[in-house]
Structures are given as C-alpha cells and as structure tokens.
C-alpha cells in the first residue's frame, strides 16, 4: 500500500485490552424458579425451548426431573411462580400453564420417554407406593437401565394423585396417561399388593437389592369417634378415596367438612358436586389476613378456596368443632366454637376454643380432614432400624407434603440408590450456580405483557369435568416467551451491539469476549437484560 494511505483494519495490531482493570464474564446463573422448584426442574431451559416452538425438546428437558408435567401443571402449588422475577415487572410467568400444555401435548402425540443409558443393569429395585415419589424414583432408575418393580396396595396407581385429588382438578385419563408413559420404560407394576400382607418385608429384601418406601401419609389423624359408625363421620382421605374410586356415594342434605388444607377443600367441593350443602369449618384465618404467615392462615391454596366459594361452599374461619351432636345414631350436626389460639406454647397445632361461643351447625355427615400420618404397618422390619438399602421419600419422609416435593425426592432417592448399588458417589446434580434476583434484571428491555391464564369455566357447574382449560399453542408460546431468562443468555444481541470496541464476537449460539481489545467499560454487563454478565476486577 502507498505510504500516503493507511492499511484498513490495521488497529487490530493494538491490543486495547491492556487498558482495562475489570473484565466481563459470561456466567449462567440459576434463576429463582429453578431454585424454588421442589423437583429442581430447569424451568428456564424448557421455557426457552417452548418459546422456540421446540415442544418435544422442551418436554424432554422438563421430564429430566419431573415425568408428570400434565399432572403437575394442574395440581402443583407452583412456588416457581411466587419467586418468578417477572412478578416484580408485571405478573409472574404462567409456568404451570406451559408445563401442563407440554404434558398434554406429549400425551396427545404419544411421545415416549428415552433411556439415558442403554446398559441393562441386573440389580433389581423395589419401589413401595405408586404415588408421585415412587413413580419419579422408578422413572429415574428405569431410564438408567435398572429393573424396577412398583408395589401398591391400591387397585390403581397414582397414590394421592389418584385417590386424593378429584377428577375436576386432575382427570384420571391424564394421570393414567402419564403413568403409562413412565411404565413403558419397562417398569413392573404390582397393584393390590400390600407389604406385610401380600408380600413380606423379608421377601422384599431378598429379591431386591434396594427398596424405596414411598408410601405417602394416608393415615388420617384421629378425629372424634363416638362409636356410631363411619357412614356419618369419616376422614377426608377416606371420603376422597371412595369418590375417586368411582363409588356412588349418597350424601345427606347438609355436610360439614372440618379442616383447612387441600384435602378439606377437595372434600368440600366433591360433596357440593354430589348435591350437598357444604360448610367448611377451619380453625385458621382467611388468606392474607396475617400477611401470608403460614400456620395462622388457611393452608389450602387460594385458587381452590376461591373456586370452592364460587361453587357455593360456605366457609367458617377461626372455628373449631368441639363435639358431634346426635339424635340416636343419626348425626344431626356438630358443635362449633370460636378458636382462641391455633398453636400451643410448644408451637404445635392445638386449637383452643373459647367457652361460650358454641354454635350448632346442622350436618348429616361430618368429614374430618385434619391431618395425615404415615401408615408404617407391615414395614417395621425395614425401618426399625432403617436398613442399608432402604430409602424413604415423599410424604412418608416428613418433608413438606407437596406432589412436586415428592417428585424431587424420588429423583434424589434414585441417585442415592444407584450410589448405594454401585458403591460410587451419588450422581445427584444439585445446581450450584449463582442466584439471580430482580436487581440483576434490566426491566427496560422487557415491555409489560399481560399474563395468559387457562380459561376457567364461566359459571361454576357442579360436575366433575375439568374446571380450568389448558393453553392453546398460541397462549403457551406467548407465555413461554414472557420468561425473562434470568441469568441465562437468550441471544438478544445487546452486548454484541453495544460494545464500543467490537470486542464481543458473535458465535453460533452465543458470544465471546475478545479480551485483546475489551477495555472493561462494563456496558455489556450493564445492558444485559437478564443479568448473565458479571464484571470482575482484573487480576494484576
């Protein structure tokens, strides 16, 4: 080139990166949704795939940790949405709506789960309980080549999902569909089989290299029983089991349901559907009256309470039942009284009732849903003491009693079982990436968009048809696209556009900083919408 002109692009010989004292780093973070999901789903990842219309890939990513999305999309209490950073911007992403859409789509399309490993293991594992914990554990083991047999005392699988949750919240066909897809991995299911009766605990230990006890907590807490028989007084668990088993129950005109949890609400709404006038007697206060303080407020999910009221269930808050009132064998009602304190000095649930506040509530049936315990009958040999190779999870393990937690515990148990069987450290992958809060999000880059909801039937019809419809494809796409992708790059190109020094290089599927030229201004980090970029002081 003539000395009277300068070579184009020759400044690349000058490494302006020497100037900086801080450098940007692309770092994936763990968003709050994934942090709070009891099943530890990589929610951001499958929402991203869904927003790209990669539905099957999204379903596969989701089912890595949760093989029951159609179920969970309907029944999970979705703590992910409470922690969703989008809630600080406008409203949380309707994660459960998209989850349900993916689960329903998988059922419609007949998608099959894939094995992780083609190797066939020989050590057999027994899972006691075909509920969400047991199914999740069996799923994770079977994908990795382990022969699994699930035992369940009931005639149909699903545990509380089947026996406790009514059809209008979770259609049996949906539950059965997802269970069948799990079983299709080659899992053996033995129904109507109770350990200690149909098969002994010792046989279990002989024939199986490991045992997972996921028997749930289906033993109802003791309620007043004055000896007159179960047709006028029963537990919520029993009531729901019979309804879900398809028994045609004939109810008296008035029914009282005692309890404040989801079992109580489910029982109350089922009783309404069977034609009764229903009053729910709950010792706690309504939602929101104590700023969300657990224990003081009714624990049942607010959605369910709202729908119960819309369906005509009367709610009596801060009220307890002192005794049953009979005329002869016939139950004429319950005696209620106002609750003084809900918890005693030791913090146990132990409502104290005010004298002089008694009232008579007429009812021909009193359903008590005041808590459940684990029924260990038949399993004592395995747990007293807990033998090596015996693992416990789900509601039976004394953790928060949510279906999602059960699913999560099934995964953890499977990893522990494999570690036990192989003598290697557990492969349980606990995400240890940094958290990302709303302070790391740049709201300027996310215009407000209304949240999509599944359509609720306009006027509550008192049948067992599903109350809330699922998303159509457009809604699922729109909602998945509302995800802020907290802490995880979604290739918005901001850093690539803004770098004044062209020191951000675009590659397929992401970006890289060319540290030869990066002056460390920090604009990339400041303008990354999702907090993916960290600035670190340069080492001297």
Partner 1 sequence: MDTRDAHRHNVLTSGHRACSGCGEAMAARMVTDLIGPEAIYVNATGCLQVFTTHNQQSAWQAPWIHSVFANAAAVASGVEAALRARGENTPVIVQAGDGGTFDIGLQCLSGMIERGHDVLFVCYDNEAYMNTGVQRSSSTPHAVRTTTTPPGRVSEGKHQLKKDLISIVAAHRMPYAATATVAYFPDLKAKVEKAMSIKGPRFLHVLSPCPLGWDHDAGLSVTVARLAVETGLFPLIEMEYGAVSGVVRLARQRPVEEYLKLQGRFKHLFTGKGGAEEVRHLQALADTNIRRYGLLDADTEWDTNEASQAQRHGRGSYAAPGKEGAS
Partner 2 sequence: MRQLLEGSRAVAEAVRLCRPQVIAAYPITPQTHIIEHLAQFVADGELSARLINAESEFGAASVVLGAVAGGTRAFTASASQGLLLMTEVLYNIAGLRLPLVMVCANRAVGAPINIFSDHQDSMSVRDAGWVQLYVESNQEAVDTIIQAYRIAEACELPVMVCMDGFFLTHTFEPVAIPEQAAVDEFLPPFQFARALDPARPMTLGGGSEPDNYLEYRAGHHQAMEQAGEVVAAMDTEFSGQFGRGGYGGLVEPYCLEGAETVMVTLGSTMGAVRDVVDRLRADGMAVGALRLRCFRPFPAQVITQQLASAARIVVLEKAISAGAGGIVAGELRAALYQAGMSAPVDGVIGGLGGRDLTPAVIEAIFRRAAAGNASAACRFADLNADAVPSTQES
Residues that bind partner 1 (CB under 8 A): 6-16, 19-20, 48, 51-52, 444-448, 481, 485, 490-494, 496-503, 505-506, 514, 516-517, 519-523, 525-527, 529, 535
Q: CB under 5 to 8 A by kind: which of partner 1, partner 2, none does 306 bind?
A: none
Instruction: Compare residues 7 and 540 and give the one whose CB is closer to partner 2.
Output: 7
Least Å distance, CB 477 to partner 1, is 11
Any contact of residue 458 with partner 2 (CB under 8 A)? no
In the range 5-44, which residues lie near partner 2 by CB under 8 A? 5-8
526 binds, among partner 1, partner 2, none (CB under 5 to 8 A by kind): partner 1
3 state SS for 191-252: CCCCECCCECHHHHHHHCCEEEECCCCCEECCCCCCCCCCCCEEEHHHHHHHHHCCCCCCCC
Q: For partner 2, which is the closer residue by CB, 1 or 458? A: 1
Residue 9 or 328: the one with the smaller Cβ distance to partner 2 is 9
Nearer to partner 2, 1 or 539 (CB): 1
CA angle 50, 52, 54 (to 5 degrees): 60
Report long-range pairs for 443-447 (Cβ below 8 Å, ≥24 apart): 443/88, 443/89, 444/529, 445/492, 445/494, 445/527, 445/529, 446/86, 446/89, 446/484, 446/529
Q: How far is the CB of 503 from partner 2 (least distance, A)?
A: 21
Answer yes or no whether residue 388 interacts with partner 2 by CB under 8 A.
no
To the nearest 10°, the Cα dihedral for 423, 425, 428, 430?
170
* Nearest to partner 2 of 5, 539 (CB atom): 5
Q: How far is the CB of 474 from partner 1 (least distance, A)?
A: 16
Using CB under 8 A as the binding rule, whether residue 450 contacts partner 2 is answered as no
Sign of CA dihedral 35, 41, 42, 47: negative
492 is in the binding site of which of partner 1, partner 2, none (Cβ under 5 to 8 A by kind)? partner 1
Q: Which does 493 bind (CB under 5 to 8 A by kind): partner 2, partner 1, none?
A: partner 1
Which residue of 3, 348, 507, 537 would you call a contact of partner 2, by CB under 8 A? 3
Q: How far is 118 from 121, CA to CA, in rounded Å?
A: 9
DSSP 8-state secondary structure symbol assigned to residue 24: E
CB of residue 4 to partner 2, shortest distance in Å: 5
- In order of 38, 97, 407, 458, 505, the CA distances from 76 in angstroms are 10, 11, 11, 23, 42
Residue 450 binding: pick among partner 1, partner 2, none (C-beta 5-8 Å cut-off by kind): none
How far apart are the C-alpha atoms of 37 and 76, rounded to whole Å?
10
* Closer Cβ to partner 2, 1 or 450, answer by number: 1
Nearer to partner 1, 432 or 474 (CB): 474
Total residues in contact with partner 2, by rule CB under 8 A: 8
Of 210, 73, 187, 103, which is closest to residue 139 (Cα–Cα)? 187
For residues 114 and 81, the answer to whether their CB atoms sit within 8 Å is: no
**Between 6 and 469, CB nearer to partner 1:** 6
The SS3 call for residue 353 is: strand
**CB-nearer residue toward partner 2: 10 or 346:** 10
Smallest gap from Cβ 73 to partner 1, in A, equals 23
Q: Which does 430 bind (CB under 5 to 8 A by kind): partner 1, partner 2, none?
A: none
Strands 319-327 and 314-316, sheet pairing = unpaired
Residue 10 vs 459, nearer CB to partner 2: 10
Smallest separation (angstroms) from partner 2 to the CB of 18: 19
Q: How far is the CB of 443 from partner 2 (least distance, A)?
A: 42
> What is the C-alpha separation between 144 and 138, in angstroms, rounded?
10
Lookup result for tokens 């049948």: 463
- Among partner 2, partner 1, none, what does residue 1 contact (CB within 5–8 Å per kind)? partner 2
**Chain centre to alpha carbon of residue 348:** 26
Rounded distance between C-alpha atoms, residue 447 and residue 461, angstroms: 37
Alpha-helical segments (H) within 110-193? 132-143, 160-163, 172-183
Q: Is 119 in the site for partner 2 (CB under 8 A)?
A: no
Candidates 4, 13, 450, 539; binder of partner 2 (CB under 8 A) is: 4
**Cβ contacts of 294 within 8 Å, gap of 6 or more:** none
Is residue 250 close enough to count as binding partner 2 by CB under 8 A?
no
Note the residues at the interface with partner 2 (CB under 8 A).
1-8
């Amino acid at each position: 080139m003539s000395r009277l002109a300068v070579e184009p692009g020759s400044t690349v010989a000058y490494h302006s990166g020497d100037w900086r004292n801080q450098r940007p780093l692309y770092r994936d973070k763990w968003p709050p949704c994934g942090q709070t999901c009891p099943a530890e789903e990589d929610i951001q990842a499958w929402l991203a795939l869904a927003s790209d219309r990669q539905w099957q890939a999204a379903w596969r990513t989701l089912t890595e940790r949760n093989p029951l999305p159609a179920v969970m999309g309907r029944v999970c209490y979705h703590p992910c949405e409470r922690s969703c950073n989008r809630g600080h911007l406008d409203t949380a992403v309707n994660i459960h709506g998209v989850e349900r859409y993916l689960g329903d789509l998988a059922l419609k399309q007949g998608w099959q789960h894939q094995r992780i490993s083609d190797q066939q293991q020989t050590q057999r594992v027994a899972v006691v309980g075909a509920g969400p914990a047991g199914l999740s554990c069996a799923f994770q083991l079977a994908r990795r080549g382990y022969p699994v047999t699930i035992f369940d005392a009931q005639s149909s699988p699903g545990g509380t999902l089947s026996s406790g949750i009514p059809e209008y919240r979770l259609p049996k066909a949906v539950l059965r569909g997802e269970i069948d897809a799990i079983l299709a991995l080659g899992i053996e299911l033995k129904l109507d089989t109770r350990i200690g009766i149909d098969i002994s605990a010792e046989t279990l230990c002989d024939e199986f290299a490991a045992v997972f006890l996921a028997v749930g907590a289906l033993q109802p807490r003791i309620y007043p029983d004055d000896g007159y028989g179960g047709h006028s007084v029963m537990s919520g668990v029993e009531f729901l089991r019979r309804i879900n088993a398809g028994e045609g129950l004939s109810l008296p005109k008035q029914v009282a349901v005692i309890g404040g949890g989801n079992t109580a609400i489910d029982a109350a709404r089922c009783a309404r559907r069977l034609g009764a006038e229903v009053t729910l007697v709950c010792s706690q206060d309504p939602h929101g009256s104590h700023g969300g303080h657990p224990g003081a407020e009714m624990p049942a999910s607010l959605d369910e309470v709202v729908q119960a009221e819309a369906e005509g269930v009367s709610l009596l808050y801060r009220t307890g039942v002192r005794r049953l009132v009979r005329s002869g064998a016939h139950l004429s009602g319950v005696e209620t009284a106002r609750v003084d304190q809900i918890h005693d000095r030791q913090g146990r649930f132990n409502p104290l009732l005010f004298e002089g506040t008694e009232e008579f509530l007429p009812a021909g049936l009193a359903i008590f849903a005041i808590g459940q315990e684990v029924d260990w009958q038949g399993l004592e040999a395995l747990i007293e003491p807990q033998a090596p190779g015996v693992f416990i999870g789900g509601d039976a393990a004394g953790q928060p009693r949510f279906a999602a937690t059960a699913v999560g515990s099934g995964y953890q148990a499977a990893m522990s079982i494999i570690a036990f069987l192989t003598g290697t450290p557990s492969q349980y992958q606990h995400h240890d990436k940094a958290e990302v809060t709303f302070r790391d999000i740049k709201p300027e880059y996310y215009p407000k968009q209304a949240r999509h909801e599944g359509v609720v039937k306009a006027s509550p019809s008192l049948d067992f048809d599903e109350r809330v419809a699922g998303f159509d494809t457009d809604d699922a796409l729109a909602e998945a696209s509302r995800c802020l992708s907290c802490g995880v790059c979604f290739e918005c190109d901001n850093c690539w556009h803004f770098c004044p020094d062209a020191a951000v290089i675009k590659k397929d599927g992401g970006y890289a900083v060319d540290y030869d030229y990066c002056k460390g201004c920090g604009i990339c980090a400041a303008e990354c919408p999702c907090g993916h970029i960290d600035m670190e002081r340069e080492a001297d």
